[in-house]
Amino acid sequence: MGPAVSARRQAGREPGAPGRGTLRAREARTGWALISPTVVLVLVLVVLPILWTVVLAFQDLRLIRLRTAGLFGDYTFDNFADVFGSPGFWSSLVTTLMYAGGGTAASIGLGLVAALALRRGFRGRTLVRASLLLPYVAPVVAATFVWGVMLNPQFGVVNELGTGLLGWDEPIAFLSERPSALLTVIVFEMWRSFPFAFLFITARLQAAPATLEEAARVDGATPTQLFRHIVWPQLLPTIAVLALLRFIWTFNNFDDIYLLTGGGAGTDVISVRVFDFLISRGDIGAASAQALVLSAVLLVLVTVYYRFAAKDEVA
């Protein structure tokens, strides 16, 4: 918004300005005409479906009877009783929290290390920086497939090198045994998402004023002291926002775990359970109830995010 706009705005506020109402009204009409297709699309394909999930969660609806069943009426609390009462639910919630917490911490940690290591320029930095972003843009199906083959106990390269060079007694079934599967999906999440944190933190580092650090260096601060007392405090707000965003996304992540383990071996996160209830069991009501629980947690997180970080973003 340049000064011209504010000048126009002031001109509009002048009491005697001719045609003020009609210009204003015409601008508003054009604005609504231009934005309304998007608003309609988002309402129909995002907002209404979310509201409809609430209705579905209180119904006993099966996939097989979907084409004949009435879509409204016959409300019941059975789905929630099923969801909260089933033995898998609470352990699944714990798994999801561990996955989201671990994945968030690991990806931000590695992103921070990468941003600091690449902070000073060197020949080929642009290329290195671009290469580090590849896991984030690569198709998730290809990435999970190649990781699955790499970690395969029969002919995967990791197990071959581990037994051959590192002296492992036997191949590790990374994706199909209990503690290792959850750890592996967290490492995968770190590999795939650290570029996001890396980009964010790099942008923040570039915006940090050099004078502060120079002054501290003149006063005799060592590199670690510089980081601890000058750089880290400046990064902290960025990292807080990042942590929240990454936690929200990892908490809801479906693709990575579904494709890596299918939710087996102690990686049964809630999003994969929603999918299983919907597709394998064909139980629409229970799937919706499950999704609602997920939304409730998400709603809390989004509210925190909005309060905390997004106030000036939304204009």
Site string for another protein, 91-110 (x = CB under 8 A): -------------------x
Contact between 175 and another protein by CB under 8 A: the answer reads no
- CA–CA dist 261, 267 (Å, integer): 7
Site string for another protein, 208-227 (x = CB under 8 A): ------------xxxxx---
Cite the beta strand spans of the chain per DSSP E: none
Site string for another protein, 34-63 (x = CB under 8 A): xx-xxx-xx-xxxxxxx-xx--x----x-x
- CA–CA dist 272, 27 (Å, integer): 47
Please state the closest distance from residue 121 (CB atom) to another protein, in A.
Answer: 12
Three-class HEC string of 280-314: HCCEHHHHHHHHHHHHHHHHHHHHHHHHHCCCCCC
298 φ/ψ angles, rounded to the nearest 5 degrees: -60, -40
How many Cβ atoms sit within 10 Å of the Cβ of residue 249?
Answer: 15
Q: Which stretch binds another protein (CB under 8 A): 14-22, 32-40, 80-88, 178-186?
A: 32-40
- The residue within the footprint of another protein, chosen from 17, 27, 237, 281 (CB under 8 A), is 27
Give 56: exposed, middle or buried? Use CB within 10 Å, 0-12, 13-18, 19+.
buried
Choice between 29 and 229, CB closer to another protein = 29
Close Cβ partners of 208 (under 8 Å, ≥ 6 residues apart): 231, 234
- Residues numbered 257 to 286 that lie near another protein (CB under 8 A) are 259, 271, 274-275, 278-279, 284
Please state the closest distance from residue 86 (CB atom) to another protein, in A.
Answer: 17
Q: Which stretch binds another protein (CB under 8 A): 13-21, 77-85, 134-142, 174-182?
A: 134-142
Contact between 143 and another protein by CB under 8 A: the answer reads yes
Contact between 166 and another protein by CB under 8 A: the answer reads no
- Residues numbered 287 to 306 that lie near another protein (CB under 8 A) are 287-288, 291, 294-295, 298, 302, 305-306
- CA–CA dist 305, 299 (Å, integer): 10
How many Cβ atoms sit within 10 Å of the Cβ of residue 141?
Answer: 10
Contact between 250 and another protein by CB under 8 A: the answer reads yes
